[in-house]
Amino acid sequence: MHTPAPALSLRDYTQSRGSHAHDHFQVLLGLDGVLEIEVEGRGSGIGTGQAQVVAPGDRHDFEARRGGSVCLVLDTPHAPWARCVEQPPSDAPRLHALARYLAHCLQQPQHAALALQHGPALLLEAWGAAPSVADTRRRRIDWPALAAWAQANWHRPLGVADLAEVACLSPSQFAQRCREEQGQSAMLWLRTLRLAHARELRLEGLSVAETARRTGYRSPSALTAALRR
């Protein structure tokens, strides 16, 4: 599957309310004004010098306060950003200075290409979310083997606890590792895997009913709806 490259942009937000979710990480760095944002029911504000990371699949509502808001926005599938969802920047002033510099570069045609090329990696480094020594000694998850196990068990309901048991981890540990290593929540990873398998079976010529039965969808119509989405 093709993984899209990180995209860096400068965005003006207004008082018009928005609401959506992404299949990638979204990093918002406040440059001017305040952007009110509510992620999965948790509200906060991104003011000048503040930053927030929205994880893949998390629905978020947003609206700028009076006067609008300007943010540097990074859309990226890069899994290490999972560490930053709950971890604040280690040096916020340094991160803000870098964000302002990149925003300036994006507005200069002669510098925009370099900002787009190197900005994502510089922002992650400036956030300071390097893996710890303990992380390097953790139990390795064999993701292909886990995916094969899941495909062999589509006939029964599967949840995070089931995946965690196979990986010999607690549900909370597995959920965190999935965000870090796969760049998405455990249930989104499972749903994506199930849907990809269903698409493969349909391409092989299987009927919708038989594909739904083999991949654990509750009905052919549920599979059809998932494929359309």
Question: pLDDT digits over 30-56, tens only?
Answer: 999 999 999 988 888 999 999 999 988
Is pLDDT at 200 greater than 60 in this prediction?
Answer: yes
Is pLDDT at 201 greater than 90 in this prediction?
Answer: no
- Calculate the average pLDDT of the chain: 86
* pTM metric for this prediction: 0.59
Residue labelled with tokens 């092989």: 204
Residue 133 — very low, low, confident or very high, per pLDDT cuts 50/70/90?
very low
- pLDDT (average), residues 164-192: 88
Model pLDDT, residue 138: 67
Model pLDDT, residue 3: 41
Residue 72 — very low, low, confident or very high, per pLDDT cuts 50/70/90?
very high
Model pLDDT, residue 219: 84
Q: Please state, in angstroms and rounded to a whole number, the distance separating the CA atoms of residues 60 and 206.
A: 37
**To the nearest whole percent, how much of the chain has pLDDT over 90?**
31
DSSP conformation class of 7: E
Q: Please state, in angstroms and rounded to a whole number, the distance separating the CA atoms of residues 171 and 108.
A: 47
Residue 175 vs residue 223, higher pLDDT:
175
* Helices 186-203, 171-182: crossing angle, 10 deg rounding: 60
Residue labelled with tokens 């950003």: 81
Model pLDDT, residue 137: 54
13 contacts 71 by C-beta, under 8 angstroms: yes
Residue 111 vs residue 218, higher pLDDT:
111
Q: Please state, in angstroms and rounded to a whole number, the distance separating the CA atoms of residues 201 and 196.
A: 9
Residue 63 — very low, low, confident or very high, per pLDDT cuts 50/70/90?
very high
Model pLDDT, residue 90: 87
- 3-state DSSP assignment of residue 17: coil
**8 CB-side CA count, 13 A:** 25
DSSP conformation class of 156: S
Give residue-wise pLDDT tens across range 134-163: 554 567 888 888 988 888 888 888 889 999
φ/ψ (deg, to 5) at 37: -140, 140
Is pLDDT at 130 greater than 60 in this prediction?
Answer: no
DSSP conformation class of 224: H
